[in-house]
Amino acid sequence: MICCLASVLVWSGAAWAGEYPADPLDSPMWDYRANEILGDAEVVFDDAVQVIVPQLAENQHVFPVTVDASALPDVKRIVIFADLNPIPVAIDYRPINARAFVATRIKLDQRTPVRAAVQTGDGRWHVSGVWVDAAGGGCSAPPVSRVKGDWAQHLGEMRGAAWPDHDDTRIRVSFRHPMDTGLVENISAYNIDTLSVTAADGTKLAEMSVFGAVAEDPVFTMIVKDAGEAPIAVSARDTAGLEFDGSVSRRAGVDLLAQAR
């Protein structure tokens, strides 16, 4: 657990010299996580950040989280994290030419606040979240594909779809990947760690850092700037250096299927 917690210290800047605002969720880990993830930037709790989750985790291995911060201007980053998870950060999303919206599924190891921290261009973090009841063990149980023993045959398979969303394009991409946390005996940490979305003309639309707290066979939904019917390239890499590439477009519907290389 110590090693896993150390893996997120890349967010730590200089030690925060002031005080973070009082946590409306009264989490015992708020100050620690804020310093670890948000560093010394200004932090405010903001209802403009919508964190949409079920109040009860029916399956702690696959818990859906949607964040919509489109009411904020000039959003640079969206970080989804769970205070009491041994691996707190799930994703760090950069909507470069995309709406401030992202959805995925995460693991929960116990009852915990699930939060989104949204950084705007002025450096300020806008934070919102909610307590979620979970039975526990989401990070410390082997993934289903490991139990079945078929993960290697399907590793890297990708599927995706794209739809118009007002003037933009909503895309959803899924990967077959065990997303091992390293907290299961005899199974090392192994997860997708980067994701990028690129327009047909080479314009970068979005980037994401991904961590072991994301659920097995991860699914990501984003809303990128209008791409029309041109193909949108999606690429990812995992911690073993395998790369996964594919493309998706509105006209083709569900059309993305690729293997690792």
Task: Report pLDDT digits (tens) over 98-131.
Answer: 999 999 999 999 999 999 999 999 999 999 999 9
Q: Strand 125-132 to strand 43-45: parallel, antiparallel, or no bridges (unpaired)?
A: parallel
Residues 197, 109: Cα–Cα separation, whole Å: 30
The residue behind tokens 């925060």 is 16
User: How far are the Cα atoms of 32, 35, 80, 222, 256 from residue 19, in angstroms, in the given order?
Assistant: 11, 10, 22, 33, 47
Q: In CATH, what number does 2-252 get?
A: 2.60.40.10
Residues 54, 131: Cα–Cα separation, whole Å: 10
State yes or no: pLDDT of 254 exceeds 50.
no
| Domain extents in the chain | 2-252
State yes or no: pLDDT of 215 exceeds 90.
yes
- 136 vs 259, which has greater pLDDT? 136
Residue 169 structure tokens: 């394009």
pLDDT attached to residue 128: 98
pLDDT grade, residue 134 (50/70/90)? confident
Query: Contact, 115 vs 243, CB < 8 A?
Result: no
pLDDT attached to residue 187: 86
Strand order in the sheet with 158-165: 50-52, 63-68, 98-106, 219-224, 168-175, 158-165
- 56 vs 65, which has greater pLDDT? 65
Residue 242 structure tokens: 């395998």
Residue 143 structure tokens: 């993934």
Percent of the chain with pLDDT over 70: 82
State yes or no: pLDDT of 147 exceeds 80.
no
DSSP the chain: -HHHHHTTGGG--SPP-S-PPPPTT--TTHHHHIIIIITTS-EEE-TTSEEE--SB-S-TTSEEEEEE-TTSSSEEEEEEEETTSSS-EEEEEE-TTEEEEEEEEE--SSSEEEEEEEEETTS-EEEEEEEEB--S-TTTS--HHHHHT-HHHHTT-EEEEEEEETTEEEEEEEE----B-S-BTTB--B-EEEEEEE-TTS-EEEEEEE-TTBPSS-EEEEEESP-TTS-EEEEEEETTS-EEEEEE-GGGSS-----B-
Residue 62 structure tokens: 């696959």
Residues 162, 173: Cα–Cα separation, whole Å: 9
Q: What confidence tens digit (pLDDT) does each residue in 33-45 have?
A: 999 999 999 999 9
State yes or no: pLDDT of 165 exceeds 70.
yes
